[in-house]
Structure 1
Amino acid sequence: MNQPDEGTENEWDTTDYDEGHSFVFEYGEGVVDLLEPKTGERVLDLGCGTGHLADRIAGSGADVVGLDSSAEMISEARESYPECRFVHGDARDFSFSKPFDAVFSNAALHWVSEQDAVLDSITDALRPDGRFVAEFGGTGNVATILDAVRDVAADRGYDIENPWYFPSVGEYTAKLEAHGFEVRYATLFDRPTELDGGPDGLSSWLGMFGDGLLAPIPDGEQRAVVSAVEDSLRDDLFEDGTWTADYRRLRVIAVNEAE
């Protein structure tokens, strides 16, 4: 989940990310299954984070390159998986000398508002008939949490905007087709996700992923805002000592039809 847009970029604590939010890459295992990587294929993992899924893909015999905008994530990935290649770069503007058979992305693209630039780069990176397989937040993702943050912030005089890109199936498939892709599969589904950290799970999630969301609120007030958000959501999202985020995910498989 690691290709943030300029202006909403988190400063990633890679240890906390791996140990306290492991659901990000654990749920990504299913997206790797959709990819069906094969021995000898060149695969780009776009928004690779700390490299766990790149390593899983490489285990199939594929030649994997991981790209991420976070220097901290790339450093951790290189240290953990030295047999894979990892590149510090921007999803909106990247290029490689040799085309890829597939571009894979898990929990990353919702960080980038300029999707046309991303898809231009993906199209250029893929060989003709190469495939693009991705999962990221879709329309309605974490809507309950977003609404609570907006309401609490508004009570204090702050206007909160959604910093993420959560498209509908129709919106995103139309965008893919406009960039020369044939969409083979697209689905939007609810995936309630238990957050690590027990009673601190929601505040930890906001601390890891919510920099852009909380940006209009002064640092000195953010803790009080988060506490009020917890109070407002406790009846709906907290049960048996665990917070559950109302995730909705969009999955796509598309083939590059460009000449």
Structure 2
Amino acid sequence: MPSGQFWKTELYDNKLGFVSEYGKEVVELLSPAPGEKILDVGCGTGDLAYDISKTGATVIGMDFSAEMIEKARVKYPTIHFFTGNAEQFQLDETFDAVFSNAALHWMKNAKQVVENVWNVLNSGGRFVAEFGGKGNVNRIVKATTDVLDEDYAIDAEKLNPWFFPCISEYSHLLEQQGFRVTYAVLFDRPTKMEDGEEGLSHWLSGFANQFFANVSEEDKKLLYAKIAARVRNDLFHDDTWYVDYVRIRVKAIKP
């Protein structure tokens, strides 16, 4: 994940818990087995690593955020977690599977990530992941970039931290590396936020703070309100915000 993203672990766990809840479907696709050794890339505060460990697999969790890793260690002291960059990491050990949920879209050097995953997998090992795909949060990104441009003359496109590929682009990266892609799907998943009117502000504060790095806390509230006004007709229904998520889910095998 990019160094400019600051993670608020309490907000992440208490208001953005949908990340781990939806990730349970990806754990099902992973289908971990007792005795397997699995690396969780972008493990966050460790909830899914813990779910995987309950199957009898041995899990190691890695995340770029020291704050996330610190919280994960407190929550799940029996699991090994470490701070690491998926775009650069090298390990002395290998794994039966690499798992990742809601993390790969933070890594713009996707080709290097795929290579690093390949290098730590055993022959026959699998890579199972879900992350933002083409079109993910399009409405929110457009509203954010427009508001920042109008109010601050900021070119927010340059601040965009995300990589949202289409299926063909990401499958090509995997196949180019040597993986055999056995499953790949792109799907819309409008995602319900908690706390009614405050839901979008929680999302922007938790996931999009790189866009607002040079904005005061007072001005952030004003900007959040302006962004909300622009997307309200599309994303606010039944007194609840629904973020316009589009996800890629993949499974690939190292021969």
Give 2:154's aligned residue.
158
Q: Which amino acid aligns with 2:121?
A: L
Give 2:140's aligned residue.
145
RMSD, matched Cα: 1.3
Choose from 60, 70, 77 the match for 1:75.
Answer: 70
Deviations 1:177-227 (A, max 9, x none): 111111000000000000122111101110111122334x53363332211
Give 1:210's aligned residue.
208
Q: Which amino acid aligns with 2:211?
A: L
Give 1:45's aligned residue.
40
Aligned length: 251
1:129-208 matches, within 5 Å, as 129-156=124-151, 157-161=153-157, 162-208=160-206
Choose from 2, 10, 18 the match for 1:5.
Answer: 2
Give 1:240's aligned residue.
238
Deviation at 1:83, TM superposition (A): 1.5
Question: How many angstroms apart in 1 are the aligned matches of 2:177 and 2:71?
Answer: 33
> Contact 1:194–1:243 at 8 Å: present in 2 too?
yes
Give 1:105's aligned residue.
100
Higher mean alpha-carbon deviation, 183-192 vs 232-241, is at 232-241
Counterpart secondary structure, 2:61: strand
TM-score (norm: length of structure 2): 0.95
Structure 2 residues not aligned, in runs of 5+ = none
**Which 4+ runs in 1 deviate beyond 3 A?**
none
- Asked if 1:32 is matched to 2:30, the reply is no
> Contact 2:11–2:202 at 8 Å: present in 1 too?
no
TM-score (norm: length of structure 1): 0.93
Q: Which amino acid aligns with 1:158?
A: I
Higher mean alpha-carbon deviation, 150-159 vs 205-214, is at 150-159
> Contact 1:10–1:208 at 8 Å: present in 2 too?
no
Counterpart secondary structure, 1:128: strand
Structure 1 residues not aligned, in runs of 5+ = none
Question: How many angstroms apart in 1 are the aligned matches of 2:78 and 2:220?
Answer: 41
Question: How many angstroms apart in 2 are the aligned matches of 1:199 and 1:17?
Answer: 18
> Contact 2:50–2:76 at 8 Å: present in 1 too?
yes
Query: What percentage of aligned pairs have identical amino acids?
Result: 47
